[in-house]
Structure 1
C-alpha cells in the first residue's frame, strides 16, 4: 500500500504543479480542463487567484495524504490530519459524482473534449483519490 500512497501523493503534487504552471501563463493542456456549455463555450474562465487557490489545495491534499498514510512519522494520529483526510475523501468523492450537468459520473452534457477527458481521466482519478484517502484513513498508515 505504501507504494500506492506514494504514487497518489506524487499525482496530487503534480496536478498542483500543473495548476501553478497555468496560473502563471502556461497553456499546455488548458483547453481540455474547463467544462464546456452546449454551445462549446467554456462554462467559466478561471482567474489566476482561483487557479493558485486550487494549486494550494492540491498541495495541501498531497501533504495530508503523505501524513495520513504514515509515510512520515511526524504527525501520526493528528486530529487535523485525520479530519483533513476525511474532507479530501468527501471532496474527491463528490467531484466524481459530479454536478449533474458538466462533470462527473452523472453529467448530462457529453460530446465535448472536456467530457471525454472527464469520463476517461478526471472522474476515474477522483474516484481513485477518494478511495486512496479512505484506505489511508482505514489503515492508519
Structure 2
C-alpha cells in the first residue's frame, strides 16, 4: 500500500513542479484558479513573481527526490538523516497546507465561494493531505 502512496505522490510532485516551471516561463494555462482571491473576487490575495514560482518548482522537485529516496526508490545523494528530516518537514508542510490559514486556503477556510476556494476544497487541499500522508508513510 505504501508503494501506491509513494509512487503516485512522486508523480504528482514532478508534474506540479513542471507546471510551476511552465508558469514561471510565462504559461497561462490554469492560472485563473490557482491563486486565492478575495471574497468579492476583486483581487488576488498575492501576486507570485517569477523567482518565487521557480523556487516553488525547485522545492517541489526536492520533495519528489526526498520522497523517492526515503521510500528506497532512489539512492540517497545526501545523508540519510537529512532525507529523513526532509521527509518529516515535507509531511508537516503538506498537512499544514491542507489545514490552511483559516481564511483563504485549506479545509477550514472562511472564503468558500471563489473559483480558487472551490478548487481548493475539491482538489488542492485533499492532494496536500494525500502528500502529507505519503511522507508520513515513507518514514515508517
Measured against the shorter chain, the TM-score band is over 0.9
Match of 2:94 in 1: 92
Map residues 21-100 of structure 1 onto 2, 5 A cutoff.
21-40=22-41, 41-74=43-76, 78-100=80-102
Match of 1:101 in 2: 103
| CA drift at 1:8 | 1.0
| CA drift at 1:7 | 1.7
The answer as to 2:13 corresponding to 1:12 is yes
- RMSD of aligned residue pairs (Cα, Å): 1.4
Q: Secondary structure at 1:119's aligned position in 2?
A: helix
**Residues 89 and 134 in structure 1, CA contact (< 8 A), matched pair in contact too:** yes
Determine the C-alpha separation between the residues in 2 that align with 1:74 and 1:19: 25
C-alpha change, 1:34 and 1:76, in structure 2 (3 Å) is: closer
Determine the C-alpha separation between the residues in 1 that align with 2:78 and 2:29: 38
Q: TM-score, normalised by structure 1?
A: 0.93
**Residues 105 and 123 in structure 1, CA contact (< 8 A), matched pair in contact too:** yes
Give the gaps of 5 or more residues in structure 1. none
Determine the C-alpha separation between the residues in 1 that align with 2:73 and 2:126: 24
Out of 101, 116, 124, which is 2:118 matched to? 116
Of 5-14 and 114-123, the range deviating more from structure 2 = 5-14
| CA drift at 1:75 | 5.7
The answer as to 2:133 corresponding to 1:131 is yes
Q: Secondary structure at 2:74's aligned position in 1?
A: coil
Determine the C-alpha separation between the residues in 1 that align with 2:98 and 2:92: 10
Q: Secondary structure at 2:73's aligned position in 1?
A: coil
Give the gaps of 5 or more residues in structure 2. none
In the comparison of the two structures, how many residue pairs are matched? 138
